[in-house]
Amino acid sequence: MAKFRLLLGIALMFYSCLLTTSKTLKANSADQQDDVVNDYLTLRLVSTVFRHGDRTMDKINRESYPNDPYNGRSFYPVGDGDLTNTGKKRAYELGLLLRNKYHKFLGDLYYPPNVYARSTWVTRTKMTLQLVLAALYPPVEIQKWNSELPWQPVDMIYYPMNEDDLLFPIKCSIYHDTYKNVIQNAEVKKKIEQYDNLMEITSKYTGTNITNLLDLARLYGVLHSELSMGLTLPNWTQNIFPDGELLNATLLLFDLLSYDQLNNLNGGILINDMNKVINGTLHRKINLFSAHDINVFGLLLALNVSEQHLPEFTSSVIIELHERNEKYFVKILHYLGIPPKILEISIPGCEVLCPYDKFIELTKNTTGLFKQSCYPDNQKISKPYISTPFDDKN
């Protein structure tokens, strides 16, 4: 009996210690939860601009050359400039990535007011957006209309080329005229002249007259598409592609977007929905813009964070708006596409999680100015999109 009392006493003491420890842990846990609440970031809006998936050459828009060994080859049933199966898969994977990353924020249910999905008029961008949306919003039980098809239609819009002042600002007359002025700049002319020999060499091998940066960039696009399709490229391309002078010339063309007013105009793709969310006049959750390499590159330039590389297929700029204690912050991510890797980006003068007011101040000269810059005369350039504004022959 004495032994039992001793053991019972020890047990009661042990239980008392456990009870005290438990209360202490709960108190500490509550304190930690308060800290979490105080430091907790609430996602309010996601906006992403992405390039389309892998595609064939667009022969209709002169993405070919007479001596191309694949010039007469048909890629039926894939049309000119349209998505290959690899491109479709890559676009769907982008949608899955967005789904996995923002699942808690977006929820399972597709609700149209939460989503703004917009594409350029080009087939490959429209198809890319459809594939991204298919992965982003598979139907939940209440939305299933076909038990054998885990897909539902999701609303998306696009504008005719001549009316798309957001994703095709090159149709703006001021944009076109500004570029014409830029390439007449003595410093720019000197940079372009560095590629005179490359133009001469590529003219010889391609069998076409290559006379400007757009011609070189178009050739780069042809070779890039053929390479992505697993086609063997001619030997003469080895020293200039995928790295080398042809890449550098294409980068120079894209870099010209940062000159003068062009940077402001292209920065207009960054819409002002963040301000509407902050003011409580917009309750949308995600903006999706399916576009082209120039759009992605131009947005990075407008944010002053562009690196010297061309956006790969499905490369994306993702802009997040966060709230903490009634203060707002902006975070920028860059999805490389190839490889499928996400990078956090800090704009010059700010940390990765940039206070909203500071973000607006740092980017005020290069974002959100498109309408003020382009709309005064509202004139459009009625030429094929592939030829403007970069074709310095026109």
Active site residues: 52, 293
Q: What crossing angle do the helices spanning 245-255 and 196-206 adopt, rounded to 10°?
A: 120
Distance CA 36, CA 32 (A): 6
Please name which of 264, 285, 367 lies closest in space to residue 48, comparing C-alpha atoms.
Answer: 285
CB 313 within 8 A of CB 51: yes
Distance CA 305, CA 303 (A): 5
CB 334 within 8 A of CB 234: no
CB 350 within 8 A of CB 326: no
With 0-12 CB in 10 A as exposed, 13-18 as middle and 19+ as buried, what is 297? buried
> What DSSP state is assigned to residue 164?
-
CA 311 to chain centre: 9
In one letter, which amino acid is 60? I
Give the HSE-up count for residue 389: Cα atoms under 13 Å, Cβ half-sphere: 24
CB 60 within 8 A of CB 79: no
Please name which of 292, 243, 269, 244 lies closest in space to residue 390, comparing C-alpha atoms.
Answer: 292
CB 124 within 8 A of CB 52: yes
* CA distance readout (Å), 198 to 204, 242, 325: 10, 14, 56
Which residues are paired to 288 by β-bridges?
A: 48, 117
User: What region, left, alpha or beta, does residue 325 occupy, with left being phi > 0 and alpha being psi -120 to 50 degrees?
Assistant: left
